[in-house]
Amino acid sequence: MKILISTDIEGVAGVFHAEQVRAGNGEYERARAWMTAEANAAVQGAIAGGAEEILVNDSHGGFRNLLPDGLDERARLVLGKPRYLGMMGGLEEGCDAVFMIGYHSRSQGRGILAHTINSFAFSRVFINGMELGEAGLYGALAGEMGVPVILGTGDDVFIAETRDTFPGAEWVQTKVAHGQGSGITLSPAASRRAITAAAETAVRNLKGGVSVLGRPSDRKPIPFRIPAPIECRLQTQSAALADLFCMWPTLERVDGVTLRFTVDSMQSAVRTLNSLAAMSFMLR
């Protein structure tokens, strides 16, 4: 069994401020170490649950935050960009399930450091009428490839908005959000212990075995699939961004800050959104 661990940083225990998620300062260096440790906790639990192979995907920012020399040597690391599958890079190798570690809630919510793909560019993203954040978008990409999300970790807002999207998944609440930059967190050590236990349970559930408590498990995770065609409705953070994005001929302007496009797959939708995010740097 092969598991892909997609690891972001905003949902990691102890992380609350933008300085902690941006390279170039001591606060970030501490946060990326906590991020690496939570990834390792997930690796440990997955192997205890019966996984034979693990890929850890660095899914934050420039995709080069995890510390390779600090990673559990039983895992392989997916680093760098651009990559077509973004936060799901590694699924090309044929994985059986996905963990989402250190994830956050979608833009315009009260979750800690909440955003969707690009906080400068994107306000809200709708797919076939459903508002989705990064977990929903990338979970649908995994689902399109027949792969379920079986574990998610992050704050309470992230879990509340995502739980119903991934039936049968395990969840670890690392923090309680009191706002975009405040709340209550587990200690990094307590968070790691909880992640290890949940990861083991998640893999055992997928294998149809027993939980870590010794009870039979009938919670079979289901891939999250959105049928094609895929219509994406995107609200930008400013009219200037919509002006820029609609230079792309296949995008249709809806109003001052809204555009839409239709594609034949979630992979195409995600690749388009990531291309628009890259374009937005022209206006920074």
Instruction: Provide the annotated active-site residues.
Output: 115
Residue 188 near residue 13, CB atoms below 8 Å? yes
Q: What is the largest CA-CA distance in the chain?
A: 57
Provide the CB-side half-sphere exposure for 58 (13 A, CA): 22
State which amino acid sits at residue 193: R
The CA distance from 145 to 96, in Å, is 10
Element (H, E) at 165: none
What dihedral angle (degrees, nearest 10) is formed by the CA atoms of 86, 89, 64, 104?
60
Binding-site annotation, residues for Zn(2+): 8, 10, 60, 104, 134
List beta partners, residue 77: 56
